[in-house]
Structure 1
Amino acid sequence: MYRPKFIITNKINNELLEIERARGFLEAAQLKGEWIKDMQSAALILEAHHSTHIEGTQLTLSEAQRIFAGKPVTGVRPDDRQELLNYKDAMDFVSEYLDKKSEITEEVIRGIHRILVRDVRGGSLEPGCYRKVQNYVINSITGEIIYTPPSSDEVPALMKEFVEWLNGEKDISPILMAGVAQHRFVDIHPFLDGNGRTARVLCTLILYQNGYDFKRLFSLSEFYDKNRREYYDSIQSVREMGMDMTVWLEYFVKGLKNQMLEVKAKGEVVIKKEIIIERAVQAGLNDRQKKALVYLMENPSISRSEYVELCGVSIRSANYDLAQMEKLGFIERSGVGRAIKYRILPGR
């Protein structure tokens, strides 16, 4: 039976606590469905783009966004486009497992792999089939071999043992389980290609199954891709430390925590906007003034000339609108003459 080796350090415990706090906020927050839907779409694009980018695709985020929107994008490699769309389909596939405690079988994992490498490289990647030859883990930035996985003869037994561990009783946080599973799968490297992507989708599936979907508003791969050297070093640390996963898990939970704090901060801004707009409606502010309040929630201040440009009104109308907002206690001014700036009042 597979038994991962690691220590739950104070750093891991503290990061887990922050993640739980962010999870509690998302569960309790009154966030509008339209905002959640928009953020889910944005997170899916980020996850698909960054996870495939880690593996060597050359698409920019802007190109990925256009492809997802069904808009024409020229000059991109067909395989890059297909890998991006496949990743979206794989994430849609695991979304069907939200809060469902069914077993994660080898066939489920094979199914994820089939989706991820479908119609890529002329179908030469043997979708869903364990490799029959030796493969290697190569740093997509430097081209250097950083790991030689187990032989192909060992793969079936290792995968059987791995899946038995996944579905067995474990006295650890589902978050740590997801982190362990991601690394263990990469370590086995059961497929000819697409192992990193499959591991990251599998990690997401485990989180989803255990109630840690976080409304599907996060992208761990964005965190990995922003500092790939740290990502690779954290993975490699396990092998350098006699298969002790402590350093990797510290990195993994830090990444998830950072993502959740970003989501929490965005959610807090949205809630604050909704409260301010509701007060503005009750106070009888016009659409221009409400637009300016939203602007001030995203920018430190606004001048009369900026108000004119933002709302498309005359200086006279701008002066009237701003004076009324100041009188009602929504904004305050600083400076004199043309240097006057208005900022939203604290507590608004």
Structure 2
Amino acid sequence: MRAVYIWQQPTWAEFKWDNERLITLLSDVRNLEGRIIGLMDGVGFNVQNATSLDVMVEDVLRSSEIEGELLNADRVRSSIARHLGLNTEGLPEPDHYTEGVVQVMLDAVRNSNQTLTHDRLFNWHAALFPTGRSGMHPITVAAYRVGSEPMQVVSGAMGREKVHYEAPASEAVPAMMDKFLDWINKEQGIDPILKAAVAHLWFVAIHPFDDGNGRITRTITDMLLAKADGMPHRFYSMSAEILRERKGYYEALEKTTTGTTDITPWLEWFLQTLRSAILRSEVTVKRVVAKSSFWQRSREISMNDRQVKVVNMLWDGFDGKLNTSKWAKITKTSQATALRDISDLIEKGILVVANEGGRSTNYLLKEEL
């Protein structure tokens, strides 16, 4: 028996959910969000901007990666940094496509209070597909899909395809998008975070474009989450967490879009994933705050450029264990100079010898103990 899709339900777009099942999750998310904002309020604008830059780079990269597209991280960083007025020294010039992807994300989160219109969506879509093609195939760009071919989400090899979802016919899309945008731009008295979750599902269900629906869905979600927390900076990445939970993401969407208009399970999945994203971010933000505090306390301590470089790398999450050989390689200096640099930082109370076995001596920031 053919699946009945959510848009075929008599009560389509009249979504309902069980608030009792969501209240604890929603409260957890709000509390975590408050903790992150509180942490960032304790540091200067430079640190806030640097942290937000890292998060936005991650968000752009991972949203594209979900769709199987790998962007150059340095070009993404260069584009975002330039738009934020931050230093781009040593970074490559962003290409035209990367610039378009970044502009879409920045428009969404920095102008989250602006009305979401058909034209704004079309502008986003045009930026994602500047050549008018998806891969080698021409698509309708900056307009909703047309034609009689069914819009299907499929997987599997040719001849063995599995249809996971079939979207509404193209002639139904304009009216459905009218209703969706009307809902987005009006206050309904529901929690703004829940609104972001509902919008995510609703847009996916309509699948209004020939391609790029997933990326634009996540852009709308980021816009509504930015509006929900009222912050111009982003301190967590929902797209990065969705990528980590990609299998569960697609399963949750498929289950909900082939079910009834009771979307409680989807909202639970969304809130759980958002909570994980904020928890993961909290670890990073705490480290950023600790790093900022460290440099404020250490401003009277004399360090050479090599020492500053490696200490910053340790604060930023050094990959592996630091020893004399790695120090020499990173700073392009001799083993003897590396050992003198390290010994000097131990005397100044910045580094300590790691209490572990092994043939080589490893070092840690004293504050990591």
TM-score by length of 2: 0.73
Partner residue in 1 for 2:207: 189
Q: Which moved more, 1:281-290 or 1:157-166?
A: 281-290
Identity of aligned residues (%): 23
Q: CA deviation at 1:237?
A: 2.2
Partner residue in 2 for 1:264: 282
Give the residue type in structure 1 aligned to 2:352: E
Unaligned runs of 5+ in 2: 1-11, 80-91
1:190-205 equivalences in 2 (<5 Å): 190-205=208-223
Give the residue type in structure 1 aligned to 2:59: E
Cα 1:287–1:163 change in 2 (3 A) is closer
CA distance in 1, matches of 2:356, 2:144: 69
Cα 1:18–1:318 change in 2 (3 A) is same
Q: CA deviation at 1:185?
A: 1.1
1:11 aligns with 2:25: yes
Give the residue type in structure 1 aligned to 2:139: S
Alignment partner of 1:124 out of 139, 143, 161: 139
Structure 1 contact 2–165 (Cα < 8 Å) conserved: no
Cα 1:53–1:125 change in 2 (3 A) is farther
CA deviation profile, 1:265-309 (whole Å, cap 9, x unmatched)? 223223322332343332334444444544554458644555555
Structure with the bigger percentage of helix: 1
Partner residue in 2 for 1:75: none
Q: CA deviation at 1:149?
A: 1.8
CA deviation profile, 1:58-86 (whole Å, cap 9, x unmatched)? x46569759964479xxxxxxxx85x554
CA distance in 2, matches of 1:104, 1:279: 46
Partner residue in 2 for 1:29: 42
CA deviation profile, 1:286-345 (whole Å, cap 9, x unmatched)? 444444544554458644555555552563x55655455444433434579975544333
1:157 aligns with 2:175: yes
Structure 1 contact 31–267 (Cα < 8 Å) conserved: no
- Secondary structure in structure 2 of the residue aligned to 1:343: strand
CA distance in 1, matches of 2:131, 2:123: 14
Structure 1 contact 95–205 (Cα < 8 Å) conserved: yes
CA deviation profile, 1:116-138 (whole Å, cap 9, x unmatched)? 33423275314223535353232
CA distance in 2, matches of 1:165, 1:342: 56
Cα 1:303–1:171 change in 2 (3 A) is same
CA distance in 2, matches of 1:337, 1:153: 68
Q: CA deviation at 1:178?
A: 1.0
Structure 1 contact 220–256 (Cα < 8 Å) conserved: yes
Partner residue in 1 for 2:350: 330
Q: Count residues in correspondence.
A: 333
- Secondary structure in structure 2 of the residue aligned to 1:281: coil
Partner residue in 1 for 2:165: 147
Unaligned runs of 5+ in 1: 73-80
